[in-house]
């Protein structure tokens, strides 16, 4: 059995892949593939309705919020958020916690003034800045909840009275959140929700229509709301597989149950990193991500040796991102505790054979 610690795209339970593959040949005994049925058919309408309902239920999305399945990835949201929320000549506040936050704020700068309230670039984004102040005259405050590359996570929504926009691409559905704390949540699907190609957007209806901008249709949230995420041909397969995965999540007991499992998995791995003299974590302890665990060794040859052992033990995708080096173990919802234990066993074995 392979243990997939890859950061994406699309780490889902095997049973979801099994159901997804069956529907490519024969979707619900229609004799047709899910890929060929009309996206306007009642069969596909049932899929998108169920996917929407599952998001609403699993995250307890309150009334007054719309749920959208869009294309363009989280990267398109970097532009769509300011276009929809920032008036011409307006200002937005951004917290800079890494590559994705930087990309988001660079896009916003194309449409107005950006106030970077704090940045952790001084320590290669190994921590989450605290104690910054957010200007009261900004149109919104944007932050990245989980920094996939650096292994840091913001667990509590920063305190502000401004509308809050959050990129939850790599931690949505991994822990309970209070949707009412946010005005716009977006997430590329491809970590805990489904395959690449669909982006989840949860938007508070009454923040829209205030930027005064003339928007291209595809970049206008309101138009997508009016069209029920079907203004144009939606990414049917990505939505379908996301729906299957959300069913799996619900059957497991929902986000609260997954959160407990994720806490146990992350704690076990961080405990071993802290105990084992060959490894050390790269993120500030209080900001450690439960989704992406980043760690290094003292010497590069040892890292190559550990990677070789990991390969032998079927531990896939643990090489760190080039901007941090070392290792990154992504421990998304679909990765079982037994896989985390397999990695811990390999770390112990390495220690035993290198004393």
Residues annotated in a binding site for L-glutamate:
40
Site string (3-32) toward ligand PLP, x via CB under 6 A: -----x------------------------
**Cα 329 to Cα 92: distance, rounded to the nearest angstrom:** 33
**From the annotation, which residues make up the binding site for pyridoxal 5'-phosphate?**
74-75, 100, 148, 167, 190, 232-233
Whats the size of the chain, residue-wise?
355
Residue 92 or residue 344: which is nearer to ligand PLP going by CB?
92
# chain residues binding ligand PLP, by CB under 6 A:
11
From 27, 65, 69, 100, residue interacting with ligand PLP (rule: CB under 6 A)? 100
From 74, 83, 85, 255, residue interacting with ligand PLP (rule: CB under 6 A)? 74
Site string (304-343) toward ligand PLP, x via CB under 6 A: ----------------------------------------
Tokens read off for 273: 């990193």
Site string (146-185) toward ligand PLP, x via CB under 6 A: --x------------------x-xx---------------
Residue 65 or residue 186: which is nearer to ligand PLP going by CB?
186
Q: Which residues pair with 115 in a beta bridge?
A: 93
**Cα 260 to Cα 59: distance, rounded to the nearest angstrom:** 15
Q: Does 188 bind ligand PLP (CB under 6 A)?
A: yes
Binding site for ligand PLP (CB under 6 A): 8, 73-75, 100, 144, 148, 167, 169-170, 188
| Active site members | 100, 167, 191
């Amino acid at each position: 059995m392979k243990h997939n610690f890859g950061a994406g795209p699309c780490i889902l339970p095997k049973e979801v892949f099994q159901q997804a593959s069956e529907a490519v040949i024969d979707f619900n005994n229609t004799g047709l593939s899910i890929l060929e049925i009309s996206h306007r058919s009642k069969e596909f309408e049932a899929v998108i309705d169920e996917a929407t309902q599952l998001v609403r239920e699993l995250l307890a999305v309150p009334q007054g919020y719309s749920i959208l399945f869009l294309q363009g990835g989280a990267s398109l949201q970097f532009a769509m958020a300011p276009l929809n929320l920032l008036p011409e000549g307006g200002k937005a506040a951004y917290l800079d916690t890494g590559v994705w936050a930087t990309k988001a704020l660079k896009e916003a700068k194309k449409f107005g003034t950006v106030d970077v309230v704090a940045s952790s670039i001084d320590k290669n984004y190994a921590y989450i800045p605290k104690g910054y102040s957010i200007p009261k005259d900004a149109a919104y405050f944007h932050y990245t909840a989980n920094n996939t590359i650096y292994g840091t996570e913001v667990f509590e929504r920063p305190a502000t009275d401004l509308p809050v926009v959050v990129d939850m691409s790599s931690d949505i559905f991994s822990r309970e959140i209070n949707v009412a704390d946010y005005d716009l949540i977006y997430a590329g699907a491809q970590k805990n929700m489904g395959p690449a190609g669909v982006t989840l957007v949860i938007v508070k209806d009454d923040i829209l229509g205030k930027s005064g901008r003339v928007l291209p249709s595809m970049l206008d949230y309101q138009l997508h709301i009016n069209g029920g995420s079907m203004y144009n041909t939606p990414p049917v397969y990505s939505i379908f597989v996301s729906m299957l995965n959300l069913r799996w999540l619900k059957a497991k007991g929902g986000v609260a149950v997954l959160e407990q499992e994720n806490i146990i998995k992350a704690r076990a791995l961080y405990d071993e990193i802290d105990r084992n003299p060959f490894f050390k974590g790269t993120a500030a302890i209080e900001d450690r991500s439960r989704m992406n665990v980043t760690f290094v060794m003292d010497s590069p040859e040892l890292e190559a040796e550990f990677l070789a052992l990991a390969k032998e033990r079927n531990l896939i995708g643990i090489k760190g991102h080039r901007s941090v080096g070392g290792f990154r173990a992504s421990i998304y919802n679909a990765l079982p505790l037994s896989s985390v234990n397999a990695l811990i066993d390999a770390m112990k074995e390495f220690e035993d054979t290198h004393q």
